[in-house]
């Protein structure tokens, strides 16, 4: 299998959440920018390929096609069935090897942060989208040793604006990634 760790730039990593047997519980979709470790979390309706793809279709509409493909250069996910149809919404999709958490180490670390606020075993339906976004904001602004005390958001913003100015691209409204429900 391809070593996607080196190829991947941005993308979804894992859907977390305790679903009920009837499958009607929401889950949290977690995405991590590999360079800055910035997190994007969203509450989605279910742990299904349809719900994951629907999220990406809506995000592409909000950002605009050019900005969407500029921000998400590739998508790397685990091999869960909820990610099985990502190629329907994106061309550059890679999958990690099954049972290989070291291929998505940033995701594992960020999930520990997320679990401080969203307790394991607790139904995601018990949390509002606003609570999940607030937790995401806290995670993104938390100082990181890796970045000499700067936050993931500091690193992301600096890199994002440098890239936009170098490519002479208009500044896109990437904030919808972090504030919209």
pLDDT in tens, 119-161: 877 888 888 888 888 888 899 999 999 999 999 989 988 887 7
Percent of the chain, pLDDT > 90? 10
Helices (H), the chain: 4-7, 49-63, 65-71, 105-117, 129-140, 152-166, 176-179
- Mean per-residue pLDDT of the chain: 77
Q: Which two tokens stand for residue 161?
A: 């604006």
What region does 16 belong to: left with phi over 0, alpha with psi -120 to 50, or beta?
beta
3-state secondary structure of 174: coil
Of residues 179 and 153, more confidence is placed in: 153
Please report where in the chains the tokens 């429900």 appear, as a residue.
181
Per residue in 60-114, pLDDT (tens digit) is 888 888 778 877 788 888 888 888 898 888 888 888 888 887 777 777 788 888 8
pLDDT at 8 > cutoff 50: no
105: three-class secondary structure by DSSP: helix
Query: Residue 20 burial by CB count (10 A; 0-12/13-18/19+): exposed, middle or buried?
Result: exposed
46, 66 contact by CB (below 8 A): no
pTM of the model: 0.76
Closest CA to 16 of 151, 98, 99, 112: 112
């Amino acid at each position: 299998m391809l070593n996607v760790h080196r190829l991947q730039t941005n993308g979804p990593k894992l859907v977390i959440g305790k679903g009920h047997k009837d499958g009607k519980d929401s889950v949290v979709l977690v995405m991590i920018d590999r360079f800055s470790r910035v997190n994007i979390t969203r509450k989605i309706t279910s742990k299904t390929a349809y719900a994951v793809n629907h999220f990406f279709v809506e995000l592409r509409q909000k950002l605009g096609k050019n900005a969407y493909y500029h921000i998400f250069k590739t998508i790397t996910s685990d091999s869960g069935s909820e990610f099985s149809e990502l190629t329907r919404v994106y061309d550059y999709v890679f999958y990690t090897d099954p049972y290989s958490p070291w291929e998505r180490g940033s995701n594992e670390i960020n999930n520990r942060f997320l679990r401080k606020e969203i307790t394991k075993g607790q139904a995601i339906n018990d949390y509002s989208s606003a609570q999940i976004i607030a937790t995401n904001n806290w995670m993104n602004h938390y100082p990181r040793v890796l970045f000499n005390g700067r936050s993931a958001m500091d690193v992301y913003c600096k890199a994002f604006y440098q890239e936009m100015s170098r490519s002479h691209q208009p500044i896109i409204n990437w904030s919808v990634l972090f504030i919209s429900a």
